[in-house]
Chain A
Amino acid sequence: MAAHLSYGRVNLNILREAARKELREFLDKCAGSKAIVWDEYLTGPFGLIAQYSLLKEHEVEKMFTLKNGRLPPADVKNIIFFVRPRLELMDIIADNITSEDRHHSSRDFHILFVPRRSMLCEQRLKEQGVLASFINIDEYILDLIPYDGDLLSMEYESAFRECYLENDQTSLYHTAKGLMTLQALYGTIPQIYGKGECARLVANMMLRMKREFAGSQNQILPVFDTLLLLDRNVDLLTPLATQLTYEGLIDEIYGISNGYVKLPPEKFAQKKQGEGSKDLPTEPKKLQLNSAEELYAEIRDKNFNAVGAALSKKAKIISAAFEERHNAKTVGEIKQFVSQLPHMQAARSSLANHTSIAELIKDITSAYIIQCFPIKSHYVNTYIEDCIAQKDPLIKILRLVCMQSVCNNGLKHKVMDYYKREILQTYGYEHILTLNNLEKAGLLKPQTGSRNNYPTIRKTLKLWMEDANEQNPNDISYVYSGYSPLSIRLTQILARPGWRSIEEVLKMLPGPHFEERQQLPSGLHKKRQQGENRTTLVFFLGGVTYAEIAALRFLSQVEDSGMEYVIATTKLINGTTWIKSLMDRPESPTQ
């Protein structure tokens, strides 16, 4: 089921198996038949760990969504609540249980906090008078979820917001904990680099925790050579631009959630005319996207402009393969051909799906795309002004405005006030809170006297490439058709020639940069074979985009880089979801 996790440089299936084992252990703690009541947010991440079949093996017979009122009837011995430690959820659970009591049943209640139990929540349950009803109160430490063969995500949506707006470091604490778990399974990571305030905090916590857990020295040969912690706010620009890789565009337009995407069904209904009648065209088409699918693994990280060619090449190969049957003469040859059929059919349906998706994306107008290019500011002003006048989607406006601000080390006071007034008048005064948040996060700021460092940073790090080769890329800038993500450039330079070469630029970027070493027990020092690649775990605090991931995968594949990357993050983001997470929408009075 999760074979694709073990193909990568680092076998992430170990992590998944560890998580599954723990889940099984908890389920077995509650003997007898059970029903799970889900905090809906958790179902997605859990899907990456365990399918329903695993739960079923452990006598889970029913599943419900957590909501107020009486629990749906179920003839089971145990009711288990899977919840995040949030007070409002505790109130719902309390409500469930109090209404249950009236119907005098003798079911056992359990609660599983994900990812950590909290005194506050237990206190709340106690206040509500239901704490004693629980037989088991446990925590399920699910920090880093294996997402793909080289990708881990905490699926912690509010991490960026909490860190930069609310000054709440909970997510960093969980990050550090997650990294400790990872080290317990994959060995101590000898080198830690970092850039940014949060990176520093996470590294500090990790070193602290290491001292704390110290007694038992980890005797596992380290799999990762280096850990790089990067704050999202070191590179605020990248997520604002529209990702131009195939996967990036799917995410930008349709949104990928926990490895699944929901697509408008029309294109897909036509494809399967024979059985299409069963498919209701109103139901969105749900597709799983990961490296288990051969074709997808091949094209996901390509610039969208190169996808068409790749698809048609693939189409030729597949039809050629089907043509093979005419050449099959002997019984043996035919047998061999038949044995390949399932694989070929899967390839064909995969090709059909992706051709449809590519068509869908192509239909979306280029107006959708926000690109990062050196344009004179008054053109930008006019463009943004026009967009507002035409009432383009607010998030697009915000992305544009923030982008202008970030690139220019702030906006002129007059311009900024003008934008703000325009936005508030057009989209509603309630967005004053959102604008305030963007300012707090540093995405939007008035120009101060200080020099604009951005051009220096841009030039030193070669962020804007004139002629990006989209078909056969030779630089990471292909993922944004000419713009190289700053975050990835920093990663690239760290591997070679090292950060010392860009001290000056690092100082211009926010937050400290640092290097820490973790002592390995003697005997665990790796003896590296000639030509063996090193492995770096790059952790993006506050989110990472698919395009950035694509760029890192590109770097892993460059032959002489000598470095392979595994990516971890608090959350997979794109400009829309990211800006959305920073928006405040006060509830309307009447609805």
Chain B
Amino acid sequence: MAFITASWNPLGDAFYRSTDLYEMSWSLRDGLRDSLVAAAPYGGPIALLREPQRRSPSSRPQLEIYSASGGTVASFPWKSGPVVQLGWTVSDELLCIQEDGTVLIYDLFGSFKRHFSMGQEVVQSQVMEAKVFHSPYGTGIAIVTSSSRFTLATNIDDLKLRRLPEVPGLQGKPSCWVVLTQDRQTKVLLSNGPELFILDNTSCTVVCPPGLSPQDGNIVHMSVSFSYKYLALLTDSGHLWTALLLHPFNLEFTCLPRCRRPKSQQPSVVLMWDRLLLVVGVCNETIQYPIEDPCVLVGEMDGVRIISSSNQELLQEVPLVCQDIFKIASMAPGALLLEAHREYEKSSQKADEYLREIKEQSMLGEAVRQCVEAAGHEYDTNTQKSLMRAASFGKCFLTDFSPDQFVTTCRELRVLNAVRDSSVGLPLTHTQFKQLTLQVLIDRLVYRQFYPLAIEVCRYLKIPDYQGVSRVLKHWASCKVQQKDLTDDAIARAVCMKVGDSPGVSYSDIAAKAYECGRAELAIKLLDFEARSGEQVPLLLKMKRSQLALSKAVESGDTDLGECFTGRSQPLQTGFCKLQEQETLKDLYNQDDDHQELANYYVTASYREKRLEGRLSLLQSAVDEYNKAKNEFAVKTTEDEMRLLRFQRKLDDEKGAGLLGLSLQVTMETLLSLGLHKQAEQLYKDFRVPDKRYWWLKLKSLAEKEEWDELEKFSKSKKSPIGYLAFVEVCIKCNNKYEAKKYVSKVTPEQKVKAHLAVGDLEGAADAAIERRNEAEIGAVLSRCSASNSLVIERLNRARAAIAKK
């Protein structure tokens, strides 16, 4: 433990340390010499193009992609033109900028994605140098051509090329240049000899940094810090000049105050020569690190990664909290707590002394916090553990201390240790991890196809499925469908098994991916799992599977989806057309050979027709269709209807009866009330109207018109199918007791009592009831008797008694 500070080097008030990250697992034959190397920040992948300038067509350079720990990810011969610069985008895509200005984009696994050009004029003048830079809006590219013109693209995903104005007096490429970006602006800072220019969309301005005179020589190198906050210039006379960029675009410089009391991180500059690495601080002190082979420096937000052909180190300023704890003879509470715990493990009473000391200053909470925080900054797991244990030990003596920070740090450290493993190769510091966010970390794991680890992480950190596991599965499935060596069935099964019903995974997205890769059948299989029919339909339509799309739309029940189909020539479901015009509906039935519905359509239409001829012809069409539908009843009925219409028309013409459109029954009623008995009779016969109904009709009609003789004649025409009680009741209803009585005698025995009662003949009713020896009927008659009918009552009572006796 005491040796932790062994790797520390003081620089002014600060300390710098270098931490070994990996023994690189690659085996590079020629080291990093003569190679174009691009390594992405945040522990990103490394791309390596050997001898990019070799132009003989016989030997193609090899483009290799490694993880940050040197594990091979992809390797392929470079078949395209000469490459000037390699770079990585924020979403781990590889940019290869060619001499002719073409930019080719590859994914992490070396498969080509797309390309674009940096402009026509570049093709002739050729790219001299190129730089890839990052801003909050994405990844950008800047190039300078042999005609000394700069072109910028601030976001390669939303490509807008900007050609910057000419730089006065610049011949060939500038001696050095950097891209500055802040907010939405991007500018180029360049030097030509001792002069410094700032170049933006419209102008080129000379800038004179204070304290840097032309005597200091030509500016040969410049570098801007990760945050675009600090600028360093190196002149050929060996002057190193650094400045805090207050506002990068006005280039207001403030000279850094010398040796300010350190409470914040101090800027420092790392310079690398062939065999020497130099860290220069503002306090004019330096640290020297000898190096053996060519290295690549990767700027991170909190340090610099030094990648050599054999290993990788992280050079960073020791975080303050770690300084506090590990600095020799430190009396910071954290340091004391660590010591206390160490003694405690040795079962030494000194533990108590240390603890007391902290507690006397009431700094125990602070001590715990320091230990936890420091653990986050440590790379070595043993150091992490001892710090966390110390924190946990200290926590025991605190009553109301929120465990949140402790728990979170524990979890995050586990995740970080897992991704730092050289098999994964994401050497993230805790600070970088916080900046990158967990979401992005998971994305990066997914890009690298570490699906199981990503899922583990999601589960371990209890990320809601929607943002966690599901997202991983979605990527996995999209990748799975591209595996050419598996059958559609196998893939569909595998996808379905893994993804199942995971919330938020859109099968249609996966299917769309499959379709993109030319696997339409697989896409259809996958779409079957899609929950949202709304999502299925558009893709199916795109795949020209209209029939299937239609049935899916129907299945969804969302009528509105039917919208997708209007204007397509294919059988539509009526449900969708209900809202449309009637005519469309007719065409549909026609297409479907749905004769029954077509006939019904004609019937409906016939009622909208004003002219009789039109109406009849529509009905005839209906008859034809009913015939085709083999609906005999409907054929017959519709023919009847036509017959009735013609009949009504004829009578309307002859007698002005106003019958057209009336029902058969009402027509007969009207005829009878008009006295047209013969015509009514004709309808009765022609339409085979049941006797019962006709008798009722005629009975009511005659009674209403008080044609009593006619009625009597009618009653005698044959035996009444509706009996004669009806006659009695109808007559009574028309207030003709006299006529009613005529029919009482004809009534069947069962209805006699009722008939007598209807005409108010109590005696007759009594006689009938007694004769029939029916108790209920006797009761009915009794209930109608009043006191004046004492005789009848007596008789009835006697009869009832007689029945009861039996």
Contacts and interface: CB of A to CB of B under 8 A. Distances in A.
B531 A389 contact: no
Nearest to A421: B637
A426 B608 CA distance: 21
Nearest to A215: B466
B465 A215 contact: yes
Contacts of B604: 433, 584, 586
Interface size class of B (residues with CB under 8 A): 35 or more
B501 A170 contact: no
A289 B509 CA distance: 51
Nearest to B612: A589
Given A214-B504, A590-B610, A168 B692 contact: no
Contacts of B288: none
A172 B557 CA distance: 7
B459 interface: no
Contacts of A584: 604
Interface string A191-208: 000000000010001001
Interface in B686-736: 687, 689-690, 692-693, 696-697, 722
B363 interface: no
Given A87-B579, A208-B533, A212-B531, A120 B689 contact: no
A86 interface: yes
Contacts of A429: 637-638, 640-641, 644, 663
Q: How many A residues are at the interface, by size bracket?
A: 35 or more
A515 interface: no
A426 B693 contact: yes
B153 to A, nearest CB: 36
A143 to B, nearest CB: 13
A167 B560 contact: no
A376 interface: no
Interface in A556-591: 584, 586-590
A174 to B, nearest CB: 9
A170 B640 CA distance: 38
Most buried by B among A176, A389, A428: A389
A120 B662 CA distance: 39
A589 B693 contact: no
Nearest to B611: A589
Contacts of B574: 166-168
Contacts of B603: 430, 432-433, 586
B556 interface: yes
B503 A211 contact: yes
Contacts of A170: 557-559, 575
Interface in A185-242: 201, 205, 208-212, 214-217
A424 B501 contact: no
A82 B690 CA distance: 52
Contacts of B531: 208-212
A78 B448 CA distance: 55
Contacts of A123: 563
Interface in B100-148: none
A23 to B, nearest CB: 22
A173 B532 CA distance: 12
B470 interface: yes
B609 interface: yes
Nearest to A436: B600
A425 B575 contact: no
A165 to B, nearest CB: 10
A391 B694 CA distance: 12
Contacts of B470: 215
B610 to A, nearest CB: 5
Contacts of B664: 424-426
A390 interface: yes
A195 B501 CA distance: 25
Given A426-B693, A586-B608, A589-B610, A168 B575 contact: yes
Nearest to B626: A432
A442 to B, nearest CB: 16
Contacts of A176: 557
Contact of B696 (A119, A390, A417): A390
B696 A389 contact: yes
Nearest to A214: B503
Q: Does more than half of chain A's interface fall in helix, strand or loop, or is it mixed?
A: helix
A587 B615 CA distance: 13
Given A120-B563, A589-B608, A422 B634 contact: no
Nearest to A386: B692
Contacts of A162: 575
A9 to B, nearest CB: 30
B5 interface: no
B608 A587 contact: yes
B633 interface: yes
Interface in B580-613: 580, 596, 600, 603-604, 606-610
A169 interface: yes
B211 interface: no
Residue among A424, A425, A587 with most chain B CB within 10 A: A425
Nearest to B503: A214
A116 interface: yes
A205 B558 CA distance: 10
Contacts of B579: 86-87, 120
B661 interface: yes
A495 to B, nearest CB: 29
B150 to A, nearest CB: 45
Interface in B531-581: 531-533, 554, 556-560, 562-563, 566, 573-575, 578-580
A118 B608 contact: no
B665 A426 contact: yes
A589 B563 contact: no
Nearest to A168: B575
Interface in B207-245: none
Contact of A425 (B464, B554, B663, B696): B663
Given A86-B579, A211-B503, A216 B665 contact: no
Contact of B609 (A86, A217, A428, A589): A589
A420 B661 contact: no
Contacts of B722: 389
A427 B640 CA distance: 14
A115 B397 CA distance: 61
Contact of A417 (B465, B596, B633, B665): B633
Interface in B632-678: 633-634, 637-638, 640-641, 644, 661-665
B528 to A, nearest CB: 12
Contact of B575 (A167, A386, A426, A589): A167
A379 B523 CA distance: 63
Nearest to A391: B665
A475 interface: no
A201 B557 CA distance: 9
B48 to A, nearest CB: 41
A168 B559 contact: yes
A388 interface: yes
A428 B638 CA distance: 11
A238 B502 CA distance: 43
Given A389-B693, A389-B696, A421-B637, A588 B661 contact: yes
Interface of B: 464-466, 470, 501-504, 531-533, 554, 556-560, 562-563, 566, 573-575, 578-580, 596, 600, 603-604, 606-610, 615, 633-634, 637-638, 640-641, 644, 661-665, 687, 689-690, 692-693, 696-697, 722
Top 10 nearest A-B pairs (CB, nearest first) are A214-B503, A215-B466, A586-B607, A173-B557, A168-B575, A211-B531, A169-B557, A428-B663, A429-B641, A425-B664
Given A119-B560, A586-B607, 9 more contacts: A118-B559, A209-B531, A215-B503, A216-B466, A389-B697, A417-B633, A425-B665, A426-B664, A429-B637
9 contacts: A167-B574, A168-B574, A201-B557, A212-B532, A214-B466, A214-B501, A217-B503, A587-B607, A589-B661
